Amino acid sequence: MGHTLHIKRFGARVKRRLPALMPMIAVMLVSTSLAFAPAHAGYPDRPIKMVVAWPAGSSTDAAARIVSERLAQRIGQPVTVENRPGASGTIGTANVAKAPADGYTLLFGTADTHSINPHVYKSLPYDALNGFVPITLVGTVDFVLIQSNALPYGNLRELVDAAKKQPGTFTYASWGKGSTAHVGFVALEEAAGIKLLHVPFQGAAPALNAVLGSQVDLMLTGAISADNQRKAGKVRILGTSGDHRLPWIPDVPTVAEQGVPNAQSGSWYGVLAPAGLPDAIRDRLANELVSIVKSDDVSQRIAGLGWNVSGIATKEFAQYIRSEYERYGKIIKAGDFQVD
């Protein structure tokens, strides 16, 4: 009975003092909620870094800067592009894989970094499939096969016939062993039943210069670059490597149209983040980037690089990466080459 009376008296005192205590209780509740709020609630509240694992001045770098510039405008924070080239993109990609998964370090990834390198390098310093969160596929590129003026062939069929008679005689340039260009030619050799001689260079520019100077016979490159050189009378275009003719050079048939199916080659480009990125940040970035890529001005600028504009987001992008990973894996296995 004594305890019951004490509790009733205590309750009455609290009830009388409750109005005075309400402001203090409110402050305590707010403080507690802030203490347990997720760290990304105010994302982004500082600059974001977009790593490009290729040199400045490349089309990859140009696209990354177009996207980063517009992303900065939309989120109200600077988005800087940092070039970390080397080892077919492995240096910059590994750097991002080790970064905190907080949305402040992103990667402008490519087919080289995620679809090819895992099969080419015996020891890769990152996990291409599980070490990243795909955010948005920006675009893809179908390569174009060009021929130096030193060769007389008017189309791919003529080149293939000559190559079958002279295996290992004709040369092709790429921007490195295991690059998308190298793997593209491996696919062409397999599909056409020919054998060519690979001449790797330290970059696309010196590789193209070797073809323009007729030191090397063939090269896979982008449509815009190829058409510019064709108009200048410096090369011939023998075919495009995609499923359809390209709008920039509609007069050029695909390699499949010329009797060589299953020789598709090219690259893809998209934004990824380190694994473990919170879903809320992933979704925020994906929503912003898809809107940016599909906007009229940005899509026109990306298309101006000779790219097919995409804009698919996380789930579909992840499926695309895996499918390209598996496709390139079969090509590289058939070509039987690796890089130490």
pLDDT tens digit sequence for 144-166: 999 999 999 999 999 999 999 99
Cβ atoms within 10 Å, residue 192 = 23
The pLDDT of residue 41: 66
Confidence at 35, pLDDT banded by 50, 70, 90: very low
Rounded Cα distance between 141 and 119, Å, is 21
DSSP state of 55: -
Percent of the chain's residues with pLDDT above 90: 76
The pLDDT of residue 2: 46
Contact 186, 329 (CB under 8 A): no
Q: Is 250 helix (H, G, I), strand (E, B) or coil?
A: coil
Structure tokens at 95: 């750097």
* pLDDT reading at 183 higher than 90: yes
Confidence at 20, pLDDT banded by 50, 70, 90: low
* pLDDT reading at 339 higher than 50: yes
* pLDDT reading at 197 higher than 50: yes
Max Cα distance, the chain (Å) = 112
Q: Is 28 helix (H, G, I), strand (E, B) or coil?
A: helix
pLDDT tens for 38-47 read: 545 689 999 9
The pLDDT of residue 30: 41
Residue recorded with tokens 């490349």: 58
The pLDDT of residue 198: 96
The pLDDT of residue 19: 52
The pLDDT of residue 176: 84
Paired with 107 in beta bridges are 51, 272
* pLDDT reading at 25 higher than 70: no
**Positions of E strands within the chain:** 48-52, 79-83, 105-110, 132-142, 144-148, 171-174, 197-200, 218-221, 235-240, 266-274, 308-313
The per-residue pLDDT of the chain, averaged, comes to: 89
Mean pLDDT of 236-249: 94
* pLDDT reading at 23 higher than 60: no
Percent of the chain's residues with pLDDT above 70: 88
Q: pTM for this structure?
A: 0.82
Complete domains list, the chain, with CATH:
48-141+266-335 (3.40.190.150), 144-240 (3.40.190.10)
Backbone region of residue 266 per phi and psi (left: phi > 0; alpha: psi in -120 to 50; beta: other values): left
Contact 51, 82 (CB under 8 A): yes
Structure tokens at 253: 């048939």
Confidence at 338, pLDDT banded by 50, 70, 90: confident
Mean pLDDT of 93-110: 98
* pLDDT reading at 32 higher than 90: no
